Amino acid sequence: MPRYVAFLRGVSPSNARMADLKRAFELAGFSEVRTLLSSGNVVFDAPSGTAQALQQRAERAMQAHLARSFGTLVRSSAHLRALLDADPFAEFELPPSAKRVVTFLRSSVDPKADLPIERDGARILKLSGSEVFSAYVPSPKGPVFMSLLEQTFGSEITTRTLDTVRKCAGA
């Protein structure tokens, strides 16, 4: 049975218990459910389905079980492994202190956008299908990269570090 990862937008230990999220996914009929890193990453098995159908099923289950839902973006583990194998940041010269992040979108975007887009040390580097690859150097200005991403792609997105994506793909 295929393995998937649901990246939930806006989840933290202060607004959702991981055990409750796990249970909501189990009640939706997903199996081998596991949460990772307490930040809204849920790994599960499901019969093959479209990302959109799995997203909707997860969101409905959260609403029913938690009385709230979080924006959900689903990718197959196989897709994430292929993304990582492609080494999407290799072509860019980034400082060692740069954080590499992947932003997940609900649908594909025009890959011909004028890139890179940069502001205050945050750079949107590359688009590929429904993922955006960015880098930033942490600064006292805070999470500038998040506002840059939301201004460019809207608020129905969620972002993870490359290390988190790697952990989710292997779970």
Mean pLDDT of the chain: 90
Instruction: Answer whether 39's CB lies under 8 Å from 77's CB.
Output: no
Is the CATH number of domain 3-79 3.30.70.1280?
yes
* More confident of the two residues 145 and 33: 33
> Which of 78-92, 94-108, 130-144 comes out lowest in average pLDDT?
130-144
Mean pLDDT of 42-56: 92
pLDDT of residue 14: 82
pLDDT of residue 131: 95
User: How large a percentage of the chain has pLDDT more than 70?
Assistant: 97
pLDDT of residue 66: 92
Q: Which two tokens stand for residue 64?
A: 């029913």
Each domain of the chain, given as residue ranges in start order, spans: 3-79, 87-169
Q: 3-state SS of 19-39?
A: HHHHHHHHHCCCEEEEEECCC
- 58-75 confidence digits (pLDDT tens): 999 999 999 999 999 999
